[in-house]
Structure 1
Amino acid sequence: MDDRKFQALVVEEAAGGVFIRTVKERYVSDLPVGEVLIRVEYSSLNYKDALSASGNRGVTKNYPHTPGIDAAGVVVESAVEEVRPGDSVIVTSYDLGMNTPGGFGRYIRVPASWVVPLPSGLTLKESMVLGTAGFTAGLSVSKVDEVISPDEGPVLVTGATGGVGSVAVAILAKLGYEVIAVSGKADAEAYLKGLGAKEVVDRERLTDQKARPLLKDCWAGVVDTVGGDMLTAAIKSTHPHGIVTCCGNVASAELSLTVYPFILRGITLAGIDSQGCPMDLRRRVWTKLAHAWKLEKLESLAQVSALEDLSGHIEAMLQGRIKGRILVDLTAL
């Protein structure tokens, strides 16, 4: 038995189907079998973590459980040559924090195939300001940049104050795109224009009450993070031969539209899968985020939370009250 102790946020089911969150002491021997043991320095809060931390069995089947789909830290032990003790690494996606104990604990143990070497242009802290949200934004921008150029027209970003949306706005602006940011938050304008958005529009503008097959074309590209009616309207109002990326369904998983945007305007709809993204693409996007796409004042995108304060941020995220990113600092544990 490995009797090394560490602190972790543990979600447990209490009587009456109520889920409680407590910072508890765990043992390294409690972790699952895996090839690489990592001491986590930083993590970040994502919507999927908030669901897991609330007992959503569509994300996490069994409790007690430690969420955290993101982790950045230092390798302590490794059973494979390509990952060595002392390496600084990133682990995001796969099953981390879903049914495998995640980054809201000081240690994780994972397969070597989940591990990404920390790119030279990022610190561990910066990598978790980005986390899965930033990586998903990077995948989305990469798709947009493959199809259109900045001189072809504006790019719409929905859910722009969220983690994915905030990073997407900032990267697109850095690359020279005219960014139109969509938000339902009354106080979002200064924040989003500070990230580089040229214009901020209320999400009510992105509705189509008459359910028309096509709308006036307004955007060369779209990074959609919310799904539902907003995604439907965005597709209908994209320029001919433009591109729409889709990575979220917080508004709805349903998509109600005809084929006309695709067969009359030649629009590309690109799904973004950050969880099962192939490792070669994963490394390429992280390298761009560390170098060509690296954002100035990256850490300003995040609020820093200690593990014991994380529960309040989880509730705020579930209520849609978070702007930007929540960085989880485990270095003091």
Structure 2
Amino acid sequence: MAYIEFENIRKSYDGENLVLKDLNLEVNEGDLVTLLGPSGCGKSTLLRSLAGFESIDAGSIHINGQNVTDLPPGKRNIGMVFQQYSLFPNMNVAENIAFGLKMQKMKQSVIKEKVASIIDLVDLSGKENHYPMQLSGGQKQRVALARAIVTEPKVLLLDEPLSAIDALLRKNLQKQIRRIQKALHITTIFVTHDQDEAMLMSDVIHVMASGKIEQSGTPTEIYTHPETHFVASFIGNYNLLNSSDFSKMTQQKTQASQVAIRPEAIEYFKEPQLQTDDHLYFKGTVVDETISGNILSYVIQTDQGVALRADHLYRTFNLLDKGEQVFLKVEKRNILEF
């Protein structure tokens, strides 16, 4: 039995706007699971339904075998961290973290011990007496995280907690959250629209679209074997071709309506290559280039008029010029059909 079970969840607003459509989802104990999808797909609504902040129209929610569908939020033993830090400005770090423990009427000695332990876990030692206005965005988010987990909830929910933080700090916090989650072995559901974030942090990814789960799997499974056009378009910047363009480009027939090819699976050469049965070959001309970090991305117009994106590690000895003719090849096993 899964630790968290969503069964046939249906949710609408005003009886018309159907946000969750008979959704089923399972989460195993101790996993960090990510709900990944564009804005409006229902991922935050599903998270808030689990927390008890949103009622559902139909279906049931179970945590560790207990039906929590109709329980108020305070009875579900769930910790939640939002994009907004929501810290008490008149309380210092230690007081903010201790708030939930005081509400549980724990002994002061126990509170002090728990707060000290969690402050060390989230790398905030020395900041105990600082107030929120004295903290950076990343430090505030770690205080919010510490406050959510110090009460030892059954489940931790993270609703896009890093979207307001700059890129460099965000990557550091991603690693810290993952480290803390593993250390506590706490069952966690993370909501994001950032595919890179989902790939880095998750044990399992559930890709959502229009109130449904499009595909579930490990980051590797989701990236290498998208099952639908939507997943391929949302994950990894696939080249998506209709059957006509694919057949025109490769001179091969396909029964699929659409074909997907990862940009990094396309190899390019300045000279023709010895052909084998394991690859498809075609020629083209470089029409554009983009550098993103250490990735060099070329847009190549094939001789049949089909534009492809090819990504490679930036190397000075393998640069191409706009207008240059190139020879392309891709392994047949890297061509996905829908």
Instruction: Place the TM-score, normalised by the shorter chain, in its bin.
Output: under 0.3
Q: TM-score, normalised by structure 1?
A: 0.25
Q: TM-score, normalised by structure 2?
A: 0.25
More strand by share: 2
State which structure, 1 or 2, has the greater radius of gyration over its C-alpha atoms.
2
